[in-house]
Structure 1
Amino acid sequence: MEAVAVSRTPVLELCQHNSVAVQLAKSPFSGDSSYRLSRLGFSHAQAWNLESSQLRLRNAIPRPQQRNYNSGIQASHGDVGVITQEKTKEVVFPQGDTWSVHKFGGTCVGSTERISNVAGIIVDDPSVRKAVVVSAMSKVTDMMYDLLYKAQSRDDSYLEALDTIEQKHRSTATALLGGGKDLENLLKNLEEDIHNLKAMLRAIYIAGHANENFSDYVAGHGELWSAQMLAAAVRKKGQSCVWMDARDVLVVNPTSSNQVDPDFELSLANLVDWYGRNPADCIIITGFIASTSKGIPTTLKRDGSDFSAAIMGSLFRAGQVTIWTDVDGVYSADPRKVKDAVVLSQLSYQEAWEMSYFGANVLHPRTTIPVMKYNIPIVIRNVFNVSAPGTKIWCSPLTSDTCPFEALDQDAADKVVKGFATIDHMALVNVEGTGMAGVPGTASAIFESVKDVGANVVMISQASSEHSVCFAVPEKEVNAVAEALERRFKTALQAGRLSKVEVVRNCAILAAVGQKMASTPGVSATLFNALAKANINVRAIAQGCSEYNITVVVNQEDSIRALKAVHSRFYLSKTPLAMGIIGPGLIGATLLDQLRDQSAILKEEFNIDLRVMGILGTTSMVLDESQLDLQQWRSELKERGEPTDLNKFTAHLHHNHFIPNKVIVDCTASADIAEHYLEWLKMGIHIITPNKKANSGPLDKYLAVKQLQRLSYTHYFYEATVGAGLPIMSTLRGLLETGDKIQEVQGIFSGTLSYIFNNLTGDRTFSDVVKEAKAKGYTEPDPRDDLSGTDVARKVVILAREAGLKLSLEDIPIESLVPAELQDENLSIDDFMKKLPEFDQALTARRLEAESNGQVLRFVGVVDVLNNRGSVELRKFSKSDAFAQLSGSDNIIAFKTTRYQQNRLIVIGPGAGAAVTAGGVFSDILRLASYLGAPS
């Protein structure tokens, strides 16, 4: 037989059960009738509070080598038995997953209706046993602290404020319960508590000071009242229920960091004792409050109710702890900043730590500690949307050998990066100098100085050269930090061993969190690529060797945009692109209709989310914060339109924080609009356009736009400026980028002029064909705009500049098809058309001459790269040449290069018309989406 001894305590009784000797002794930690049991042959010693001097172990079994017993005296079926004062009646305290623990915050119990709703959730929970931790009613804890402040300030209004608090709970309880014994007892307790509080506050008023014990005593009353009201509400709904003052059970020890550490051993003993006196299957427990080991009331500090729930979950060995809030779960990013953030189905404990540290609305890291030992899941759910499954936070099969197999949610596990969070209003401190390298203790001295001023270091970054140490602190603390460092290193700074203590203000920290990041190649590359393509500069970087976090520092003004950019790139199943359409005319309207018809397919099948945020016309515009309904964009522009304001239009798009990537699509032919391209690119707004005015306008502005495009990740696409939807610009760029040398580009770039000369045959005259083309809508309203050759000349300039020539429009000789006598700007369109037949003879003669030699006339643009020149002219081509074999309004472009000399590279196809031009613009939009991360 094995004896069990309790050191330094008198022996009270020795009993024998199942061949195990058990010795009870007077407890050294309490003056009441509590007893301590020390057990040999079991897992470890455990404290118990008992109202009797006897304890019986049911089926107690000595510890076998291969079995792991949890703390507490466990029967073979997992129950602990105690004997109450009724020495013949046994009460069993059951630990295990028959218990579910719930926690309801102040918002959840903020009113009569909400308390009743919470009571309904409790009653509907099918768990065998329920322990419910509840906070004070919304704002009550703040009101209690305000009482303390007023009393310490000798402000007599604390009495009025206390009366307000009393009335709030009195009226809530009355409305909730209506009447009866529960209400009578609750109001009696409330009245006694208010009486005691008045006495306590009066003492604080006289002293002008309240120590921490007094403050904790006052602040914790809100939980006492809400727990009693909720327990009564549950009973009113027909379920037996008791409430627990957690100060009778939960014992904590204060630490030096304004936190507390639970005493699990003593708390479990108190819980078993309490349960022996109050056996129940539904217990409402006060959150936030506890007692010290000396029995003095205290709190778990701010946001301590979640911690209370986790501690209770551990003590009960519950199957699950549910934290009820006002959101559907933990989001992949702050939904107030990222509209497309999604609720995560699952997080590991470690991932939850990281996200909460960086400001995400998850849990305080300490909340998970009590439940981690037993792999008890914490589920975050929405009290106002009970149908939402919430987010489960528990062990990860990647890091825990004891994690159950079912913990692996494959969909959640497949996410390399689980979520993103930001900390705003930070500052970087950079301590730099060659004298730091290889000098032991420099970093220690730096951070000792930071500690001395009480600043919090959020992130540290140091290169292996040891030339500098960079760290981030809250901006409100940076002045004190910088001054402390300059004092500490004054001698080193004067001697030149340190070159500077530099402060970079207006920063924000962005963190990417995910358990598999370190073991997955390319995560960092993808993160920084997403930031670069959103035109965001990274100021500092930190990544530890753990698998959970990559941290970057960006400018404060880029914080939300950076968050959206990386979230979109990693987490969403689509690439959102905010679009502003300028010019809802023929081409713009056609593009909008194409977007309307195709956007749903692009989103579903190609993960591209195109959102038109605004449409700007000549006189009116319409803007929307999320996206315009393209099914009825015309009516929206008409009914909701406001006067055109390009600055407001730009600001609306630029300041939209829900979508990081923005693009302006200029479907006009306006030189005034083109003037804004450089400004938009500097703002990080991408540009797509068929407007030729920018690329053929002043050379210095063109070069500035191209230079900015090369130096940034802001894109400027203009495929449709030459050849509508034909791949002319991309073909030219492809030749140059692969090392080919362009010698000459020649083409029929005008669909109008292509149609005219393709149909100028037989007895037909030039004026007849022009009249026909105008009637069919091939020409501009004023045909002289086509016949002058200026449009072709602009395309020649665009191609010449793309090929590397620095030509301007005035450098291009143009053979105009408008007779000199009809070039008067005052001549009306009708008069021009009437007089044009008078000049047919000259062109007819040139046509007949060409035909007599087996040739045809074609109006072409030429870029002569070898001779650094361009031209627009009427040329003759053999009838066997590809230029002679066009039909309709087709365009043709021939590239003569080093590789393509004998046989030119030819692009041919429709080069005019709203549908093909809009299609070319649409193609550029999809190319931009691909550059920004969409599947190509």
Structure 2
Amino acid sequence: MRVLKFGGTSVGSAEAIARVKDIVASLKDEAVVIVVSALGGVTDRLIRMANMACEGDEACISELQLIINTHEELINNLFESENAAEVRALVSSEIEELDTLVKGVFLIRELSRKSLDRISGMGERLSSRIIASYLGANWYDSRNYIKTSFEFGRNQVVYEKSEQLLSKLKGSLGRLSLFPGFISSNGKGESTTLGRGGSDYTASLLAAAFDADVLEIWTDVDGFMTADPKVISRAYCIDHLSYSEAMELSHFGAKVIYPPTIIPAYRNKIPIRIKNTFNPSAKGTLISEQSESGARQIKGISSIKDVTLITVQGIGMVGVPGISMRLFSCLARVEVNVVLISQASSENSISMVIDSSRSDVAVRAIREEFKPELDKKQISRIMQEDEMAVIAIVGEKMKQTTGIAGQLFNSVGKNGVNIYAIAQGGSEINISFVIKEKDLRKALNAIHEAFFLSQYQRLNLFLAGKGTVGSKVLDKISTQAQKLMADNRLRIRLVGIAGSRSMILNREGLYPDTVIQQLEKEGVPGCINDFKNKIIEMNVANSVFVDCTASEEVADIYLQLLEANISVVTANKIASSSSYQHYSRLKRTAAEKGVKFYFETNVGAGLPVISPINDLVRSGDRIVRLQAVLSGTLNYIVNEMSEIKPLSEVILEAKQKGYSEPDPRIDLSGTDVVRKLLILARESGYKLEQEDVEVEPFVPVEYLSQPSLEDFMEKVKELDELFEDRRQRLYLEGKRLRYAASLEDGKAKVGMVEVDKTHPFYELEGSNNIILIWSENYNLHPMQIKGYGAGADVTASGVFADIIKVANV
């Protein structure tokens, strides 16, 4: 025998009920017991109508007629006219009773619990009559077999009596039997209900009493999901759960099955299968005594929103017996259900989570109960924190498995999610904790990735700058995506991009190949601060902000992003070369928040310069001296100058090839090299400011101060002959000109140097950079780093390497 329960969405229309008929017909000669809910949404409408009647709202009569019309329309759609008349006659007594009840409540303006039970249970009485007729099933009134008593503020099933009545019925059941869910009766024969989700409970009681082979819960989802698919698009169906796992997931918000449903099935070891009426071929979720072998330690994540955390605190609670009993007894008296409890080991505080709609009632009850202790300051305060959420991770295999809690709290902590209370039962199949509701989506995504998609790590990128470097980074994201997934188990997803005046963001991802065109067509107007606010507001897990601009305005938002637990990768030198106080605050904030602040391309473009310095310093070595050619632009200029190609022409060429800044004067002033040297010095452990660096510009200051770039390009021609004379002199002396940076004895200097063939700078070609590092360990022969130091391609490669490092470090 099978017991099949069909929920409100499964019987919500004539088309859906036709699907039910097909499902039942596929079972052929097998004995089947069917339990049905009210038509989708009808129970809510009945309760709303009853409350309207109690308040004297005449619209309740119109609502009553709409409910009646809904059922009459269903009958007309399911049956031919002659049969439809018979079915309408069959349900006429229920409709008359409903009409009488609603009008009675309206007249006396009173809605008793007994009246509400009768009205709210009418949906199942009507739907079950109609569906039984359509399926040709024998109809049974569940109120005759499922008995309840009112205890602890709710109707409790009297198991022994109910099982006795159902057992007597078992032998007389035919091949196809149908029961309304949700409804029951008390010892006086008065109609009662089993609470929201009670139709599942009805089905489980029947399955247990009839010793069914399986209980199937047919709904509108494929089964229990690893997490809420409305929040986590990558959630997937769980094949198998134990009774305990399913109970825990249901208790903490997984609305697939009503939690008490599991108890009768568990007692009689009846497997439960969750199936989708609208996708019957899907395997669904099997719930049984044992979880399957080889399963993950974590089977699912569930969550509850709209809850309040209440904490009772005071040293007068320590060691005093009966405090907990009084606390939870006073809440029970006002019918407040406690979802989670957490108590400090010192006994000086107890925290509990309740539904937010009952928070004021709960706080008043606690204050009244503990008034003497509050007056005497034995209890110091009762805190109420609203807009909270509870997350629970569930799995039988968590028992005695080390590292689960560490992995859990690391995944949420590195994303900046604060935990307010924690609870773990002795059974070790559940870890629950309380967070702010605004952080729920981020936390769920981080946990789901950590436990269910751990073979892949995802980074969510927000890119500022769509120019030469930015577009090259987009190319890298596009072309390297498959390789990163295969080799590094890393998924990089672009979720936002901003230009100078517009931006576009999409939580589900943007296509890097077409996003620049999309930004131009669909971008929302906004400045970089607007973009920053949107990033923080989106609150996406594993977020990385990537700056491919040279903008001071963009650099100014780093601190707020880091404080919001968003990693920063930047090719922009401004932040790291600003005041030492700001630089150190950025580094400190990243460390404190557990996020990354990477700026390898600030020096040497794609060359690994900062990382080796960091490694030396972390190993305990001390850097004592630096010498470097750090400007690919200026090195290109000195290498390309010749008799036939003067200084002014080479400067223009460097600009046209993209080696220099859009305004070459920034390079020629030495400012760019100063910034780079300052960054190297700081990473080496020296607390220097820009004014501490002695600077000799590449060209005299009076040339750099021309009012426009055009004026400068014209005036700099005056230096062509001077530079050519110097070049020829050095050639005859066997030397070459270099624009270099140095750090020695804590003193920093930038300017022209003349080097001979014995110096490593002599053979430096094109736009290459070179950095020489002397330390206490590298004191005779310096560490030498040499290679391309300019160009969009190498800079983009360096930025991309930093992005990957965010995931790997």
Question: Which TM-score band applies after superposition, normalised by the shorter structure?
Answer: over 0.9
Maintained 8 Å contact 2:341/2:351: yes
**CA contact under 8 A between 1:429 and 1:473: conserved in structure 2?**
no
The answer as to 2:84 corresponding to 1:183 is yes
1:85-109 deviations in Å (ceiling 9; x for gaps):
xxxxxxxxxxxxxx22211111221
Q: Work out whether 1:927 is the aligned partner of 2:808.
A: no
Of the three residues 513, 516, 519, the one matched with 1:637 is 519
- Structure 2 counterpart SS, 1:696: coil
- Structure 1 residue aligned with 2:450, among 565, 569, 592? 569
Work out whether 1:708 is the aligned partner of 2:589.
Answer: yes
1:929 Cα deviation (Å)?
2.2
Which of 850, 856, 863 lines up with 2:736 in the alignment?
A: 856
Whole-angstrom CA distance in 2 between matches of 1:208 and 1:504: 36
- Partner amino acid, structure 2, of 1:654: I
1:251, 1:290 within 8 Å by CA — same for their partners in 2? Answer: yes
- Deviation of the 1:610 alpha carbon: 1.9
Alignment of 1:72-91 (within 5 A): none
**Residue 654 of structure 1 contacts residue 662 of structure 1 at CA under 8 Å; is this kept in 2?**
no
* Residue 348 of structure 2 is aligned to residue 467 of structure 1: yes
Task: Select which of 129, 146, 149 maps to 1:250.
Answer: 146
- More deviation, 119-128/806-815: 119-128
What is the alpha-carbon distance in structure 1 between the residues aligned to residue 445 and residue 218 of structure 2? 27
Q: Is the 8 A contact 2:307 2:354 kept in 1?
A: no
Q: Which residue of 2 aligns with 1:10?
A: none
1:894 Cα deviation after fit: 1.4
Aligned to 1:538: 419
The one-letter code matched in structure 1 to 2:737 is: L
Q: How does 1:660-809 map to 2 (within 5 A)?
A: 660-759=541-640, 766-767=647-648, 769-770=650-651, 772-774=653-655, 776-809=657-690
> What is residue 913 of structure 1 aligned with on the other side?
791
Counterparts of 2:496 and 2:59, CA distance in 1: 53
Q: What is the DSSP-based 3-state SS (H/G/I as helix, E as strand, rest coil) of the residue aligned with 1:883? A: coil
The normalised TM-score by structure 1 is 0.80
Equivalent residue in structure 2 for 1:882, among 751, 760, 773: 760
Among candidates 261, 279, 294, match of residue 157 of structure 2: 261
User: Residue by residue, what CA displacement relative to the aligned partner does 1:208-245 show, whole Å, maximum 9, x if unpaired?
Assistant: 5465444433433322322232233334xxxxx33332
1:382 Cα deviation after fit: 2.2
Pairing 1:900–2:796 present: no
Whole-Å Cα distance in 1 between the matches of residues 268 and 763 of structure 2? 81
Judge conservation of contact 1:599–1:610 (CA < 8 Å) in 2.
yes
**What TM-score do you get using the length of structure 2 for normalisation?**
0.92
Q: Decide which moves more: 121-130 or 143-152.
A: 143-152
Gaps of 5+ in 2: none
Distance 2:189 2:17 in 1: 30
Q: Counterparts in 2 of 1:57-72, with a 5 A limit?
A: none
Identify which range, 591-600 or 781-790, moves more after superposition. Answer: 781-790
Secondary structure, aligned partner of 2:303: strand
Alignment partner of 1:812 is 2:704: no
Distance 1:294 1:770, change over 3 A: closer
Measure how far apart 1:530 and its partner are. Answer: 1.2
Q: Is the 8 A contact 2:462 2:495 kept in 1?
A: yes
In the TM superposition, what are the counterparts of 1:322-471 in structure 2 within 5 Å?
322-397=216-291, 408=292, 410=294, 413-433=295-315, 435-471=316-352
Aligned counterparts of 2:522 and 2:103: Cα–Cα separation in 1: 62
Shift of 1:794: 0.9
- 1:355–1:362: 8 Å Cα contact kept in structure 2? no
CA distance change for structure 1 residues 373 and 479 in 2, over 3 Å: closer, same or farther? Answer: closer
CA contact (8 A) 1:173 1:229 kept: yes
How far has the Cα of 1:851 moved from its partner?
A: 5.1
1:140 aligns with 2:42: yes
Q: In 2, Cα distance between the equivalents of 1:859 and 1:120?
A: 83
The alpha carbon displacement at 1:917 in A equals 0.5
Q: Which amino acid aligns with 2:772?
A: A
Shift of 1:590: 0.5
Which amino acid is 1:792 matched to? V
Residue 409 of structure 1 deviates from its aligned partner by 5.5
Alpha carbons 2:312, 2:379 under 8 Å: kept: no
1:116 aligns with 2:35: no
SS in 2 for 1:695: coil
2:434 aligned partner: 553
Q: What amino acid maps onto 1:219 in structure 2?
A: S
Aligned residues: 808
- Alignment map for 1:822-833 (pairs within 5 Å): 822-826=703-707, 828-829=709-710, 832-833=712-713
CA distance in 2, matches of 1:766, 1:255: 95
- The counterpart of 2:508, out of the listed 623, 626, 631, is 626
Kindly state the Cα deviation for residue 731 of structure 1 after the two structures are TM-superposed: 1.4
Residue aligning to 1:165: 67
Question: Which residue in the other structure is 2:719 paired with?
Answer: 839
- Note if 1:129 corresponds to 2:35: no
More moved, 205-214 vs 668-677: 205-214
Contact 2:495-2:509 within 8 A present in 1 as well: yes
- Check if 1:595 corresponds to 2:477: yes
Runs of 4+ in 1 over 6 A off after TM superposition: 761-764
Q: Is the 8 A contact 1:427 1:504 kept in 2?
A: yes
Question: How far does the alpha carbon of each residue in 1:172-197 deviate from its partner, in whole angstroms, 9 at most, with x for none?
Answer: 112211234x4333111122332344
Secondary structure, aligned partner of 1:652 = helix
Instruction: Tell me, in whole angstroms, the C-alpha distance in 1 between the residues paired with 2:676 and 2:663.
Output: 19
CA shift for structure 1 position 765: 5.4
Output one character per residue of 1:514-546: Cα deviation in whole Å (capped at 9) or x when no partner: 222232111111111112210122222222221
Question: Is 1:611 matched with 2:493?
Answer: yes
Find the counterpart in structure 1 of residue 94 from structure 2: 193
SS of structure 2 residue aligned to 1:631: coil
What is the CA–CA distance in structure 2 between the aligned matches of 1:806 and 1:777, rounded to whole Å? Answer: 33
RMSD over aligned Cα, in angstroms? 2.9
Change in Cα spacing, 1:817 to 1:702, as seen in structure 2 (3 Å) is same
Spell out, residue by residue over 1:317-371, the C-alpha distance to the aligned partner (whole angstroms, 9 max, x if none).
2222221222222222222222332222222211111122122223222101111
Task: Using the TM superposition, give the Cα deviation of residue 818 of structure 1 relative to its aligned residue in structure 2, in angstroms.
Answer: 1.5
Contact 2:464 2:498 in 1 (8 A): yes
- Cα deviation, 1:742-769, whole Å, max 9, x if unaligned, reads 1122211111222233445798754565
User: Which range moved further: 292-301 or 810-819?
Assistant: 292-301
The unaligned stretches of length 5 or more in structure 1 are 1-98, 236-240, 398-407, 932-936
Q: Paired residue for 1:221?
A: 122
Is 1:232 the counterpart of 2:113 in the alignment? no
Please give the per-residue CA displacement for 1:836-866, whole angstroms capped at 9, x wherever unaligned.
45434544555555556654332111233x3
Amino acid in the other structure paired with 1:145:
I
Tell me, in whole angstroms, the C-alpha distance in 2 between the residues paired with 1:703 and 1:189: 80
**CA shift at 1:685, angstroms?**
2.6
Matched residues in 1 for 2:532 and 2:478: separation? 22
Over 3 Å counting, the alpha-carbon distance change for 1:791 and 1:444 in structure 2 is: same
Partner of 1:81: none
Q: Following the alignment from structure 2 to structure 1, what is the Cα–Cα distance between the partners of residues 376 and 340?
A: 29
Residues 842 and 742 (structure 1), Cα distance of their counterparts in 2 relative to 1, 3 Å cut:
same
| Deviation at residue 489 of structure 1 after TM alignment | 4.4
CA contact (8 A) 1:426 1:509 kept: no
**How far apart are 1:667 and its partner, in Å?**
0.6
Q: Deviations over 1:31-88 (max 9, x none)?
A: xxxxxxxxxxxxxxxxxxxxxxxxxxxxxxxxxxxxxxxxxxxxxxxxxxxxxxxxxx
SS of the equivalent of 1:458 reads: strand
Quick one: which of 872, 881, 886 aligns to 2:750?
A: 872
Contact 1:430 1:503 in 2 (8 A): no
Per the alignment, residue 9 of structure 2 pairs with: 107
Q: Secondary structure at the match of 1:870?
A: strand
Letter in 2 for 1:259: N
Distance 1:128 1:572, change over 3 A: same
CA contact (8 A) 1:669 1:693 kept: yes
Partner deviation per Cα, 1:672-728 (whole Å, 9 max, x = no partner): 111222222233332211001111123443333233223222322111111111111
* Aligned with 2:465 (options 551, 559, 583): 583
Q: Is the 8 A contact 1:213 1:298 kept in 2?
A: yes
Letter in 2 for 1:860: A
- In 2, the alpha carbon distance for the partners of 1:805 and 1:794 equals 14
The structure with higher relative contact order (CA 8 Å, sep 6+) is 2
Distance 1:540 1:220 in 2: 38
Equivalent residue, structure 2, for 1:20: none
| TM-fit CA distance, 1:833 | 4.5
Output the CA distance in 2 between the equivalents of 1:839 and 1:489: 88
Deviation, 1:560, is 2.6
Q: Aligned to 1:630, what secondary structure does the other structure show? A: coil
**In 1, Cα distance between the equivalents of 2:242 and 2:310?**
30
